[in-house]
């Protein structure tokens, strides 16, 4: 029948009209009256009240309308003429949602009871009872407001730092030995980002083995930090043991050439480019007076996991928690010794050459775990303690400087920081590609590669969508129109390139990737 | 001449005001003094300003009830028990009722707990009535004033209306016999039947030691913008929504559940207190009743309370200028909550944080044992002291009777 279908979408209208059209019971279910919602129809008891037809009609209505609607309906119809006090105090304010078509949640239909008499105590706007749930049509956050919220957060945090944090920021001098190699961009960018977040004045001393190169300069310039780029005109050795000693010499070079000569003031931090630093480190070191020691977590892991057997992996995971180097304190917070890295158990599995795929292990005490006041390095500084050797004497006559402790006569005056070494403030990591691996200069391939070698297996689907690479390839026409094969060529270029990286014995491709 | 002297006077005044303003600007302390409409009264000492006489009621009204269920000492209605203990050993207590300004009858009406820990208020009117009958027959002081110089602590959901459902509480109204007494209650809503003029609103009880053990270093940066943990829909009692919290909590959820600035959920994390200390704003929306312990927690942890409860009366409203400390959002403005909060000027936010950092503010919200100066017990006494001296209407003429001892539902008249 047509009537029920008409009735269904116009359910609200039907209910509202129903009691009005009840006297004319025959034509009751006229769903035509659309906007009767909110119409305050009078509640006069109807004289046709108790006719059985009406009764049957009401039953049918209840069945159709459901419990809640029918209860409301009967409440309106059959409530006694002088309303009881309970009804009076409950004015069911059913607030319509702002834009009904876009309403997220349904709210019950809003017929309004007559307003309560003024003698009731409810003279406030707030009434008990059922309310609608207000939802705005587009609950998405406004980006301008999100930006303002972040401004508020950063201002609040700045205020917190002013009130509770470090009162006066002492400048920081970061000493980093580096050299141009495949993973340099990865490590140096990470370190640059960390240093950019430091809220204290900072000078970055970068010592580069093999002389100043454009690679490094480009990376440093992007950081927009005050950088002193020093050249160290010897090539970085290939064996790890030699490399540790070499880096120590580079650091001493920076300390002597720059800090001592120019009498730079601040706290010296030895930040190796592949290490990971937490921001709390830079707040914690402000407390150091002369020489401080902190805990370094050692992330010594096999460089190429598939070479070690499964059993070995499980063993190492079970037995060893993260090794930590740093100061050891007694219960009253005084320095009594050092936690060092024991390299004997992993000696056989340790890496010897850079990039040979074995675990890289650190020295007994890494430089990164020490910070010092730059005044210790000056020729003359007031208040300089006497348990520090003069920098000129250190490292001369064949002496091997393994850690900053060799620069001190007496290691017991070192201050442990980071809650007496209990808090790990930085993590040591060495992850390098093979020492002879090549990479494109500044990681830009210009002009795009010409030789196409079809790949045997491509992990990508046959027809990728318009990739920006493809568009770039379209723009730079190389004089060879390969319109139909362009998709496959770009894919194969990528796959062949990545394959070539791993096998250094590759053929002609390698020559194209030489550093320019 | 005339205009010249006027200009000179204006310049002098201008420089004077500038000087004062400049002085205020220089004082960039971590906190700020708090003074409400009654003045700078948070640190007043009530000792010497009033005397309270504590009735010795039989233990069936207090000790026995507590003995039956010791959980009453830890829930949010525990203020009635701790207030009794505080008064027993306080210097404002007097054993001579003739010199007392205020009289206190210790009746633990909120200690009849369900197995889940929620108090049942059904016997509370009878209990209170029985206690009042006892004091009116054994001592002459009740009949002298018909309770106008007596005060009672009624920390339940809707105060002395003694019901947890708002509609039924409004129906009952305040217990007839307490019509003239001063009520110390947690519930406060303007123009509501269950808040009578002259009541003292107090914070709900929150365990001070537990909050102390969860403090984190104050330099931990506040990185959460808005924080809330709790129910949005009470599926047990109001499955469709719309009754619980007048739909305000459901509205918060529906509008902001996907907003990254709002860290809101129904979780029960163990780091709840720590998280509040990492948040800038903490939502304190109404639930079944407008008040909640969240306000106390927000104040103690320095998180700006965002109160979403129309017409609410906050604790010690005459001593603490809540409009300057918290943010008030009307229930109908909840969909615009993010706009409202992000458009607050940053200096206002920093000022609110400074006010919250004031230790006397935090102390005023707590009920420590043993009592400490400036805590909520002392604020209650200060509030009572501010109502002294009693006006003439308090003392009845001989033979005058105002209270109707037989009014109220029939069930309340049964003896307890």
Distance to chain A for B409, nearest Cα, Å = 14
Segment A120-168, tens digit of pLDDT: 344 566 787 788 888 988 878 889 999 999 999 999 998 998 888 777 8
* Position A16 pLDDT exceeds 70: no
What's the pLDDT at A59?
Answer: 83
Nearest to A153 among B170, B223, B334 (CB): B223
Using H for helix, E for strand and C for coil, what is the string for A382-428? Answer: CCCCCCECCCCCCCCCCCCCCCHHHHECCHHHCEECHHHHCCEEEEE
Q: Do A130 and B243 touch (CB under 8 A)?
A: yes
Residue A147 has a pLDDT of 94
> What's the whole-number mean pLDDT along residues A425-435?
88
The predicted pLDDT at position B416 comes to: 85
Radius of gyration of chain B (CA): 24
With contacts defined as CB-CB under 8 Å, which chain B residues touch A139?
254-256, 258-259, 335
Task: Give the pLDDT confidence score for residue B103 in this predicted structure.
Answer: 94
What distance in Å separates the CA atoms of residue B316 and residue B42, rounded to the nearest whole number?
9
Query: From the candidates B254, B264, B304, B352, which should be mutated to test the interface with A, based on the most A CB atoms within 10 A?
Result: B254
Residue in chain B nearest A96 by alpha carbon: B332
The pLDDT assigned to A399 comes to 75
In angstroms, the CA A447 to CA A457 distance is: 26
Q: What is the pLDDT of residue A391?
A: 83
**Mutate: best of B164, B220, B242, partner A, most A CBs <10 A:** B242
Contact criterion met (CB below 8 Å) for B46 and B387: no
CB count within 10 Å of CB B256 equals: 22
Q: What is the pTM of this model?
A: 0.65
Query: Least CB-CB distance to B251: which of A89, A133, A157?
Result: A133
CB–CB contact B167 A151 (8 Å): no
List the single residue in B with minimal CA-CA distance to A155.
B346
Tell me the chain A residues in contact with residue B280 when contact means C-beta distances shorter than 8 Å: 152-153, 156
Select the residue of A129, A157, A160 nearest B167 (Cβ to Cβ). A129
Burial class (CB in 10 A: 0-12, 13-18, 19+), B90: middle
Decide if A146 and B260 are in contact by the 8 Å CB cutoff: yes
Per-residue pLDDT of chain B (416 residues; tens, 9 = 90+): 567 777 776 666 655 555 444 444 434 467 888 888 888 888 888 888 999 999 999 999 989 999 999 999 999 999 999 999 999 999 999 999 999 999 999 999 999 999 988 899 999 999 999 999 999 999 999 988 888 999 999 999 999 999 988 888 998 999 989 999 999 999 999 999 999 999 999 999 999 999 999 999 888 899 999 999 999 998 888 888 888 999 999 999 999 999 999 999 999 999 999 999 999 999 999 998 899 999 999 999 999 999 999 999 999 999 999 999 999 999 999 999 999 999 999 999 999 999 999 999 999 999 998 999 989 999 999 999 999 888 888 888 887 888 888 888 888 888 88
State the DSSP H helix or E strand holding residue A176, giving kind and residue range, or none if neither. Answer: strand A172-178
pLDDT at B362: 92
Give the span between the Cα atoms of A54 and A48, in whole angstroms.
8
Instruction: Compute chain A's Rg from CA coordinates.
Output: 39
CA dist A185 and B233 (Å) reads 52
Please indicate whether, in this complex, the C-beta atoms of A128 and B167 are within 8 angstroms of each other. yes
Q: Running DSSP on this structure, what letter comes out for residue B134?
A: H
What pLDDT is attached to residue A355? 72
- DSSP state letters, A468-484: HHHHHHHHS--S---TT
**Predicted local distance difference test score (pLDDT) of residue A390:** 83
In chain A, what percentage of residues exceed pLDDT 90?
22
Q: What is the mean pLDDT of residues A487-506?
A: 44
Instruction: Supply A15's token pair.
Output: 């209910």
Give me the residues paired with residue B305 across strands.
B282
Indicate the residue of B250, B255, B342 with minimum beta-carbon distance to A145: B342
DSSP annotation of A2 reads H
Q: Residue written as tokens 């029920």?
A: A4
Which A-chain residues 102-131 have CB contacts (< 8 A) with chain B?
104-105, 107, 121-126, 128-131
A43 or A169: which leads in pLDDT: A169
CA B42, CA B366: separation in Å to the nearest integer?
A: 13
Percent of chain A with pLDDT strictly greater than 70: 61
- Asked whether the beta carbons of residue B247 and residue A131 sit closer than 8 angstroms, the reply is yes
Q: What is the mean pLDDT of residues A58-64?
A: 79
């Amino acid at each position: 029948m047509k009537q029920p279908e008409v009735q269904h979408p116009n359910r609200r209208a039907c209910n509202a009209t129903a009691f009005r059209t009840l006297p004319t019971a025959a034509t009751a279910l006229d769903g035509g009256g659309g906007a009767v919602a909110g119409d305050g129809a009078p509640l006069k008891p109807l004289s046709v009240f108790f006719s059985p037809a009406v009764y049957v009609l009401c039953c049918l209505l209840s069945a159709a309308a459901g419990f809640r609607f029918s209860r409301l309906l009967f409440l309106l119809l059959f409530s006694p003429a002088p309303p009881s006090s309970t009804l009076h105090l409950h004015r069911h304010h059913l607030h319509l949602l702002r834009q009904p078509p876009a309403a997220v949640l349904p709210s019950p239909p809003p017929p309004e009871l007559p307003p309560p008499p003024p003698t009731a105590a409810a003279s406030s706007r707030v009434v008990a009872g059922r309310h609608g749930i207000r939802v705005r049509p587009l609950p998405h956050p406004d980006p301008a407001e999100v930006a303002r919220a972040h401004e508020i957060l950063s201002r609040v945090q700045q205020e917190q730092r002013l009130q509770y944090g470090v009162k006066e920021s002492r400048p920081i001098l970061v000493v980093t030995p580096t050299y141009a190699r495949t993973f340099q961009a990865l490590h140096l960018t990470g370190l640059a980002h960390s240093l950019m977040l430091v809220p204290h004045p900072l000078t970055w001393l970068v010592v580069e083995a093999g002389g100043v190169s454009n690679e490094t300069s480009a990376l440093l310039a992007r950081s927009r930090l005050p950088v002193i780029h020093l050249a160290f005109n010897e090539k970085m050795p290939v064996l790890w043991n030699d490399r540790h000693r070499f880096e120590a010499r580079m650091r001493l070079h920076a300390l002597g050439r720059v800090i001592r000569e120019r009498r730079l003031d601040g706290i010296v931090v030895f930040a190796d480019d592949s290490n990971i630093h937490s921001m709390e480190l830079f707040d914690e070191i402000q407390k150091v007076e002369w020489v401080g020691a902190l805990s370094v977590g050692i992330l010594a892991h096999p460089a190429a996991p598939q070479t070690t057997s499964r059993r070995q992996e499980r063993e190492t995971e079970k037995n060893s928690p993260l090794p930590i180097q740093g100061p050891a304190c007694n219960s009253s917070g005084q320095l009594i010794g050092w936690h060092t890295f024991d390299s004997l158990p992993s000696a056989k599995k340790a890496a010897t050459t850079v990039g040979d795929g074995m675990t890289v292990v650190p020295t007994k005490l890494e430089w990164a775990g020490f910070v010092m006041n730059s005044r210790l390095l000056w020729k003359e500084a007031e208040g300089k303690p006497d348990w520090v050797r003069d920098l000129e004497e250190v490292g001369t006559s064949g002496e091997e400087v393994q850690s900053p402790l060799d620069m001190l006569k007496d290691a017991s005056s070192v201050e442990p920081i980071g809650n007496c070494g209990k808090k790990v403030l930085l993590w040591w990591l060495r992850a390098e590609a093979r020492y002879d691996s090549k990479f494109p200069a500044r990681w830009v391939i210009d002009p795009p590669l010409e030789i196409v070698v079809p790949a045997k297996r491509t992990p990508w689907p046959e027809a990728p969508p318009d990739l920006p690479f493809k568009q770039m390839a379209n723009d730079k026409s190389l004089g060879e129109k390969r319109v139909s094969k362009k998709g496959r060529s770009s894919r194969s270029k990528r796959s062949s390139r990545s394959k070539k990286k791993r096998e250094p014995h590759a053929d002609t491709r390698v020559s194209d990737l030489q550093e320019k | 001449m005339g205009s010249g002297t006027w200009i000179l006077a204006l310049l002098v005044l201008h420089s004077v005001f500038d000087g004062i303003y400049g002085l205020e600007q220089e004082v960039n302390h971590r906190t700020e003094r708090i003074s409400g409409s009654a003045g700078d009264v948070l640190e007043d000492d009530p000792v010497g300003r009033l005397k309270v006489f504590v009735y010795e009621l039989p233990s069936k009204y207090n000790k026995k009830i507590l003995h039956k269920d010791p959980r009453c000492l830890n829930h949010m209605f525990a203020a009635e028990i701790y207030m009794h203990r505080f008064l027993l050993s306080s210097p404002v207590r007097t054993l001579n009722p003739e010199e007392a300004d205020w009289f206190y009858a210790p009746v633990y009406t909120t200690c009849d707990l369900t197995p889940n820990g929620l108090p049942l208020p059904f016997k509370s009117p009878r209990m209170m009535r029985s206690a009042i009958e006892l004091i009116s027959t054994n001592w002459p002081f009740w009949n002298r004033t018909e309770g106008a110089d007596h005060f009672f602590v009624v920390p339940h959901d809707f105060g002395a209306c003694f019901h947890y459902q708002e509609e039924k509480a409004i129906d009952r109204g305040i217990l007839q016999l307490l019509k003239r007494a001063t009520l110390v209650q947690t519930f406060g809503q303007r123009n509501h039947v269950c808040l009578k003029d002259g009541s003292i609103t107090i914070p709900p009880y929150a365990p001070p030691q537990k909050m102390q053990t969860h403090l984190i270093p104050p330099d931990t940066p506040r990185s959460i913008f808005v924080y809330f943990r709790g129910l949005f829909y009470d599926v047990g009692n109001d499955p469709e929504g719309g009754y619980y919290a007048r739909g305000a909590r459901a509205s918060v959820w529906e509008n902001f559940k996907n907003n990254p600035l709002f860290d809101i959920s129904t979780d029960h994390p163990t780091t709840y207190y720590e998280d509040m200390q990492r948040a800038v704003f903490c939502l304190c929306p109404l639930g079944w009743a407008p008040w909640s312990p969240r306000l106390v927690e927000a104040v103690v942890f320095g998180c700006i309370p965002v109160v979403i409860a129309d017409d609410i009366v906050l604790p010690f409203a005459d001593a603490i200028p809540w409009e300057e400390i918290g943010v008030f959002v009307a229930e109908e403005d909840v969909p615009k909550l993010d706009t409202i909060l992000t458009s607050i000027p940053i200096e206002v936010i920093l000022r609110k944080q400074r006010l919250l950092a004031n230790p006397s503010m935090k102390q005023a919200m707590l009920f420590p044992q043993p009592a400490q100066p400036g805590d909520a017990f002392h604020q209650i006494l200060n509030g009572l002291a501010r109502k002294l001296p009693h006006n003439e209407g308090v003392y009845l003429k001989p033979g005058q009777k105002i209270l109707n001892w037989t009014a109220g539902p029939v069930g309340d008249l049964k003896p307890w």
